[in-house]
Amino acid sequence: MSKLLKKNNKNKSVAVFGASGFIGRNLITLLVKNGWTIKALMRNPHYANFLLPIGEVGQVYLQRCNILDYTAVEESVKNVDCVINLVGILSENKSQKFYKIHLDGVKNIAKACLKYNVVNFIHVSALGISEGSESHYAKSKNKGEELIHSIHKKAVILRPSIVFGPSDNFINRFVKMASISPLMPMVGKGLTKFQPVYVNDLISVIEILISKDIFKGQTFELGGPDIFSLKEIYDLILKFMGIKRLYFPIPFVIAKFLGAVCSFFPSPPITIDQVRLLQNDNIVAQNSKGFSKFDVNPVSLEEIMESNVKQYSRSKL
């Protein structure tokens, strides 16, 4: 990014909901480099002090905000140039439910942006969601998108496929599994297809959107250059780890039963809803708007795996 653009961003501020997550950490690093002042919003800011050294003194400000509290959300979007929502959950617990987070929380952010005339509102959703899905995650995400556009006509929605990168929650989960187990379970015979997106490509698109007044009110599906089945992702991981494991296919019916049993665990390794998600491919639809609109050439999963295999397989997992 040019020094001129960094200078132009010096007096601009952005509120990032869900700033302490995997995508948020990487996004804040990029925005700091390009001169933005960041209001990093999350439920538990005392767990996110690691964000402060990323920027200069005062450039990254941590603030407590529960998106289900409209008053807190409203206060959070005051006096900012743009808002980015990264909040999402893949499984439910007693305090976090799909429809609360993906619908009620999103409604609060959209309403607050409209009230304070924050035109530049970017919402990161997910690929492969629809009203017709069996998954409550997918249904709630889809309804959240519909609600956003009914409230904030100029909001931009991004639908990435599975996002990967160092310290992600996707590849690293399988790496950890492979490092401790001789068996690799494959739900549905491992045939579900994904189009993994490199985190740096996703955050580059977000930065372009908040830096330029373009593409208002549009939705973009973002997928990497390659499509992999779950089995092919396992193959790739084991190849770069330099180990062999036995694959253990699990039919969807049995996987749902296991998901039901695991739902009683504090941190379930898999849920019924996640099994439902795996019944459908997670790839970009034909003729959809994607990375080409932003002049971004997405990086392949294999390229990053090869250059970061040691980081993927280290003991921090």
- 189 class by beta-carbon count within 10 Å (0-12 exposed, 13-18 middle, 19+ buried): middle
Collapsed DSSP state (helix, strand, coil) of residue 64:
strand
Q: Which residue ranges form the domains of the chain, and what is each CATH number?
A: 3-165+196-223+288-294 (3.40.50.720)
On the question of pLDDT at 25 being above 50, the answer is: yes
175 falls in which pLDDT band (50, 70, 90)?
confident
The pLDDT of 201-208, averaged and rounded, is 97
Question: Can you tell me the distance from the alpha carbon of 200 to that of 206, in angstroms, rounded to the nearest whole number?
Answer: 10
Reported as a single tens digit per residue, the pLDDT across 277-289 is 999 999 998 888 8
Main-chain phi, psi angles of 121, to 5 degrees: -120, 115
Specify the amino acid at residue 58.
Answer: G
CB atoms within 10 A of CB 297: 9
In order, the DSSP letters of 76-105 are HTTT-SEEEE----SS--SS--HHIIIIII
171 falls in which pLDDT band (50, 70, 90)?
confident
The pLDDT of 95-105, averaged and rounded, is 94
Q: pLDDT at position 212, please?
A: 85
**pLDDT over 90, % of the chain:** 72
Question: Can you tell me the distance from the alpha carbon of 76 to that of 15, in angstroms, rounded to the nearest whole number?
Answer: 7
On the question of pLDDT at 6 being above 60, the answer is: no
310 falls in which pLDDT band (50, 70, 90)?
low
On the question of pLDDT at 5 being above 60, the answer is: no
317 falls in which pLDDT band (50, 70, 90)?
very low
The pLDDT of 34-47, averaged and rounded, is 93
- Which DSSP category does 316 fall into? T
- Among left, alpha and beta (phi > 0; psi -120 to 50; other), residue 34 is alpha
The pLDDT of 202-214, averaged and rounded, is 92
Reported as a single tens digit per residue, the pLDDT across 132-159 is 889 999 999 999 999 999 999 999 999 9
Question: Can you tell me the distance from the alpha carbon of 304 to that of 312, in angstroms, rounded to the nearest whole number?
Answer: 10
Contact criterion met (CB below 8 Å) for 82 and 113: no
Contact criterion met (CB below 8 Å) for 126 and 141: yes
The pLDDT of 292-302, averaged and rounded, is 93
| Residue at token pair 């193959």 | 235
Helix ranges (H only) for the chain are 3-8, 22-33, 70-76, 98-99, 106-115, 136-151, 171-180, 199-211, 230-241, 252-262, 272-277, 301-312
Q: Kindly give the pairing relationship between strand 193-194 and strand 183-187.
A: unpaired
- 144 class by beta-carbon count within 10 Å (0-12 exposed, 13-18 middle, 19+ buried): buried
CA angle 152–154–160, rounded 5-degree value: 95
